[in-house]
Amino acid sequence: MATLATKKPNRLPGILEHASGDKRFKILEAHMKKHQFNQNALIEVLHKAQELFGYLEDDLLLFIAYKLKLPASRVYGVATFYHFFTLKPKGRHTCVVCMGTACYVKGADKLLAAVEKKAGIKAGETTPDSELSLLTARCIGACGIAPAVVYDGTVTPRQSPESLLTHVKGWLDHDH
Ligand code: FES
């Protein structure tokens, strides 16, 4: 795996641009602001990031490092040190089912059950062919469009078991 430090120089502008259009980054930034961008709040911030995104990927870690004015290596080091943090899973595709309250009351558990059954894996796992990683998040900041699912980074509103299965079907039936 390339280190974050080597990727940092040219990726940051793109990450910040992407972040400006993704509400989850705004919520995360508000959370950092609440902690006055205090570097000692790093673990707390990483927890919040994982709640919002389901896992911590490089871009997210770089964003946090930039905002907290910490070296990317430090943020990456902390994220990899603690077992309760999940780094980007190895599946080619990711499906994050929001299990926060608003989504849950609108049937997120049924969404999760449907995709677990179809893919034959549990939340937190990746299919043996590495096509799909399935994750959950606690609230992705899209309660108004619950239940929401994030397919490969795209927040998608008002999902049903049927729409979810339609979405992941192509990923699971890869050899057709
Ligand atoms: S609970 Fe799912 S977006 Fe808030």
From CA 144, how far away is CA 1, in angstroms rounded? 37
Q: What share of the chain is helix, strand, coil (3-state, %, to 5)?
A: 55, 10, 35
Pocket test for ligand 1, best of 23, 48, 98, 149 (most atoms within 8 A of CB): 98
Q: Is 145 in the pocket of ligand 1 (CB under 6 A)?
A: no
Can you name the residues that pair with 149 across neighbouring β-strands? Answer: 97, 156
Q: What pLDDT shows up at residue 7? A: 52
User: Within a 10 A sphere around the Cβ of 39, how many other Cβ atoms?
Assistant: 12
Which of 139, 145, 155 for a ligand 1 pocket mutation test, highest count of atoms within 8 Å of Cβ? 139
Report residue 71's pLDDT band, with 50, 70 and 90 as the boundaries.
very high
Ligand 1 center–CA 112 separation, angstroms: 14
140 lines ligand 1 (CB under 6 A): yes
Q: Which residues contact 14 (CB under 8 A, 6 or more apart)?
A: none
Query: What are the tens digits of pLDDT across the range 104-136?
Result: 999 999 999 999 999 999 999 999 999 999 999
Region 61-78 average pLDDT: 96
CA of 149 to the centre of ligand 1 (A): 9
